[in-house]
Chains A and B, each alone.
Chain A
Amino acid sequence: MTYFIDSKRPRTSVWILPLLLGATACSPYSFSSEVASISNGVDKMAESFSSGYDGLAGDLATTKQVEMAAKRQRILLAGACDDEVDARRSNTAVCGLYIAGTSEPELTSLQLTQAQTMRSVRVLKKYANALAAVTNAADRTAYDAAVGQLSGAVATVTASANLAAPGAGMIAPAAVNVFGWVVGTALDQQRYDSLRTAVNRVGQPLPDKENPNPRSPIRVVTGTLGMGLSQLTNARIGALTREAGILTIGLSSRPLSDEAYRKQLAEAWAAAATAEALRRSDPQGAAADLADAHDKLVEAVNEPGRSYGSLLKAVGEFGEKISALHTAMTAANSPSTTSKKGQ
């Protein structure tokens, strides 16, 4: 029996080998595109958190400036500005300005959650990126290319052996291709197995004696982070509407030139428009959609033969909501005094 295998085309020429060997591997690459979308969505979620915290700090500062300008009262420098840097000291105090007779500036309770929130977000992001890595079809292409190079190199080296053993120059590259295919299939299977194990562990609840009806790890994390995003959105809306409110009072409370009036009106309008964009976003819905998409991924990975239209739909819904939130959170990042927001 003679095997004729073209060493320069390892994939196309060994197509019959799976049939010959009676082995088939589940491909992790079937979910490549959907998983990449989930991973991109989680990246956007992480950016929404960063922009949300940064934006909140900016909004609070801008609102405070607008309030100071409206009230024209005595302004003081916070005592925290004179503090020495000391890791042991409570980190809530802020070096900033404040109106005499009011409390000195400090971080809000929500701002104090930033470090812990971002740690949790990083874990979720690492997981989503790992899903993308294990389903990245480009790695298999690179692997096949390496096997092709090796096969070609072996063919060149063994060409001289043809003199002593005719046929060796063809058999050796073929053996490399078979070896490459077997190893590649095993590596694909390893990837698929790790994907299946991972999504099942993360996507399915593990009841125990203490908690017979727990939520799955992904539901716990997305539920909590959805709550955090919602808090950030509400806190920003609060600061922005206060800013808009004070600015609108200023429109009638003191005489303004036409230009100053238009500028202040535009700033108030922009703050309200930014608040409205945030109000229209659905942070908890976006987080819940991520969990839904993950549930559909679990189903698809567990039953690879089945159509996974529901996965596509779930991924699409998550993508839409997280994009809207991301746009609202990032677009609102510049101080309103530059009149860029919401315009």
Chain B
Amino acid sequence: MVAVADITAAKADCIAKINEMISAARELQKTATDADRLKLEDAIADLKKLRDEIRVQEYVAALNSTAMQNALVTIESAATKMNTAAQNMKTVAQIIANLAAFLGAAAQVLPALTGHA
């Protein structure tokens, strides 16, 4: 049975080989004709594309992993609870400010109502 570690090692070997080939192509470019330099540039692009594909597989697997999904759920839940606590103080402050404004207005009409204007 193939272990995950074997796959990871095989990918690393593959990437190392690709990097060697890119380096070799860059060396060849130094003495090649312009037409060949362009062809080597295309070859290097293909090799880099292959390298990116191998790396992206790893990233996609990490993005889709259960660990990542569970971590995101935990983080989102923590954020929601903190936002609620943060909002509570704002809400209470707003209620108090509204009450103060109401009493401020009441204080202006109270003297008239009690005959102390």
Contact = CB atoms under 8 A, between A and B. Distances in A.
Interface of A: 70-71, 108-110, 113, 116-117, 120, 123-124, 126-127, 129-131, 133-134, 136, 139-140, 142-143, 145-147, 149-150, 152-154, 156-157, 160, 180, 183-184, 187-188, 190-191, 193-195, 197-199, 201-202, 211, 214-215, 217-218, 220-221, 223-224, 227-228, 231, 234-235, 238, 242, 245-246, 249, 252-253
Contacts of B37: 245, 249
Chain B contact patch, size range: 35 or more
Given A130-B83, A146-B97, A223-B62, A156 B104 contact: yes
Contacts of A199: 78
Contacts of A198: 78-79, 81-82
Nearest to B35: A253
Contact of A133 (B55, B82, B92): B82
A71 to B, nearest CB: 7
B110 A127 contact: no
A223 B71 CA distance: 11
A221 B52 contact: no
B74 A195 contact: no
A129 B75 CA distance: 12
Contact of B71 (A190, A221, A234): A221
Contacts of B49: 108, 238
A131 B104 CA distance: 35
Contacts, number: 192
Interface of B: 29, 34-35, 37-38, 41, 44-45, 48-49, 52-53, 55-60, 62-65, 67-68, 70-72, 74-86, 88-90, 92-94, 96-97, 99-101, 103-104, 106-107, 110-111, 114, 116
A111 to B, nearest CB: 10
15 contacts: A70-B38, A109-B57, A110-B52, A134-B85, A139-B93, A153-B101, A153-B103, A191-B82, A194-B84, A201-B77, A217-B71, A231-B55, A235-B52, A242-B45, A246-B38
B103 A150 contact: yes
Given A217-B70, A246-B41, A149 B60 contact: no
Contact of B67 (A109, A134, A214): A214
A143 B77 CA distance: 26
Given A149-B96, A160-B111, A228-B63, 5 more contacts: A127-B75, A134-B85, A146-B96, A157-B110, A224-B68
A134 B63 contact: no
B68 A139 contact: no
B41 to A, nearest CB: 5
B93 A143 contact: yes
Contacts of A228: 59, 63
A41 to B, nearest CB: 16
Contacts of B106: 157
Given A127-B75, A220-B71, A252-B34, A143 B85 contact: no
Contact of A136 (B48, B65, B86): B86
A204 B1 CA distance: 33
Given A110-B56, A153-B107, A157-B107, A220 B67 contact: yes
A195 B79 CA distance: 9
Nearest to A199: B78
A234 B55 contact: yes
A208 to B, nearest CB: 10
Contact of A117 (B35, B63, B85, B86): B63
A1 B90 CA distance: 35
Nearest to A131: B82
